[in-house]
Amino acid sequence: MRAALSPGSRITNLLRLIKFSHTLFALPFALAAMLVAARGLPAASIVLGILICMVGARTAAMSFNRYVDWEIDRQNPRTVERSRLASRGETLALCLGGLAVFGAGLSLLNGLCRLLAPLAIAPLLGYSYAKRFTSFCHGLLGLALALAPLGAWAAVRGELTSVAPYLLAASVLVWTFGFDLIYALQDREVDLRLGLHSFPARFGTEATLRMAQVLHGAAWVGWIAFGLQAGLSGAYWLACAISGAALLYEHRLCRRKDARALNIAFFGVNVAVSLLLLLGVVGSLWL
C-alpha cells in the first residue's frame, strides 16, 4: 500500500513524474512566436491564454505517456521510479486535468485556436503509441512541440498564412527530433529487449548520432531563415551564433557516450538554446 503523502509531496511527485522542467523546451519558442507576431507584447488575455494552454497541453501529453507506457517503464531501470511517484489511475486523471486546463486556456483565445485544437491534441497524445510502430517516433514528438509556435502565432494574429511561424515550427520539429534521438540512446538496450521501434534500436548508436547532427544543422539553418523572414536584428543573430556553438558542444558531449554526458547534452544544452533564442527575439524587438 502506498504511504500517505502530504499535499506538497504529492504535487512534487507529480511534477517529477511529468518532468515539468522540460516545459522549457517548447515554451520559449511559443513565446518567441507570440512576440514576433505581435511585434511586442500582445493583450494580457492572449499571453495568459497561451501560457495556460502550454502548461495544460504538456501536462496532458506527459501524463498520458506515463499511463500508456506504464508497464514498459516498470521494465526499464531508468524509468522504474515513475511507478512509485503516482498510481496509473492518477496519471490518467492528471491527463484529463491537463486537457481541462488546455480547454480553459483556449477560452481566452480566438476561434481559430479553438478550431485547430483537436489537430494539436492528436500528436500530443498519439506520440505515446508511436514507438510501438515506427522508428521515427521521435519525429512525431518534434511535430507535437512544433505546434507550440504555430498556436501562439494563431493566438495573436488569428491567421496562419504568414511564412515566419512555419519556419520556426519546422526548426523546432527537427531540433526536437534531434535531441530526442540523443535522449533515446539511454534506452537502446531496453528497447531492443522489449521489441520497441526507437531509432537507436533499429539503426544503432553511430547512425543515431549522425542523424541528430544533420537534424540540428537543419534546425540552425531554419532559425536563421526565421530571423530573416521576421526581420529580426542584432541580438537575435548573436543568439543564433551562440546557439549554433552550443549545438556543436552538445554533439561533442555525445561522443563520450556515458549517461551523465548524454543528460547534459539533452537537457542542459537544449534548454539553453531555447532560452537563448527567446532572449534574442526579446533583444531584437526592444533593444
- Model pLDDT, residue 1: 43
Concatenated DSSP letters for 106-128? Answer: HTTS-HHHHHHHHHHHHHHHHHH
Residue 189 predicted with pLDDT over 70: yes
- Residues 163-188: what's their mean pLDDT? 95
The residue with cell 543573430 is: 237
- Model pLDDT, residue 232: 97
- Model pLDDT, residue 225: 98
Cα angle: 74, vertex 205, 178; to 5 degrees:
85
Quick one: the chain helix, strand, coil %, rounded to 5?
80, 0, 20
Q: How far apart are CA 197 and CA 282, in angstroms?
A: 40
Q: How far apart are CA 236 and CA 282, in angstroms?
A: 8
User: Would you place residue 3 in the very low, low, confident or very high pLDDT band (cuts 50, 70, 90)?
Assistant: low
Q: How far apart are CA 268 and CA 25, in angstroms?
A: 10
Q: How far apart are CA 273 and CA 271, in angstroms?
A: 5
Which residues are CB-neighbours of 136 under 8 A, at least 6 positions away? 130, 199
Q: Are the beta carbons of 174 and 215 closer than 8 angstroms?
A: yes
Q: What is the CA radius of gyration of the chain?
A: 19
Higher pLDDT, residue 24 or 121? 121
Residue 199 predicted with pLDDT over 90: yes
Average pLDDT over all residues of the chain: 92
pLDDT in tens, 226-283: 999 999 999 999 999 999 999 999 988 888 767 677 777 778 889 999 999 999 999 9
- Model pLDDT, residue 260: 74
Other beta carbons within 10 Å of 259: 11
- Tell whether pTM > 0.85: yes
250 Cα distance to chain centroid: 17
Q: How far apart are CA 216 and CA 70, in angstroms?
A: 31
Q: How far apart are CA 78 and CA 154, in angstroms?
A: 38
Specify the CATH class of 9-286 in words: mainly alpha
Q: Are the beta carbons of 198 and 131 closer than 8 angstroms?
A: yes
- Residues 209-221: what's their mean pLDDT? 97
pLDDT in tens, 75-97: 999 888 888 888 899 999 999 99
- Model pLDDT, residue 4: 61
Residue 165 predicted with pLDDT over 60: yes
pLDDT over 90 percentage in the chain: 79
Other beta carbons within 10 Å of 130: 18
The residue with cell 476561434 is: 111
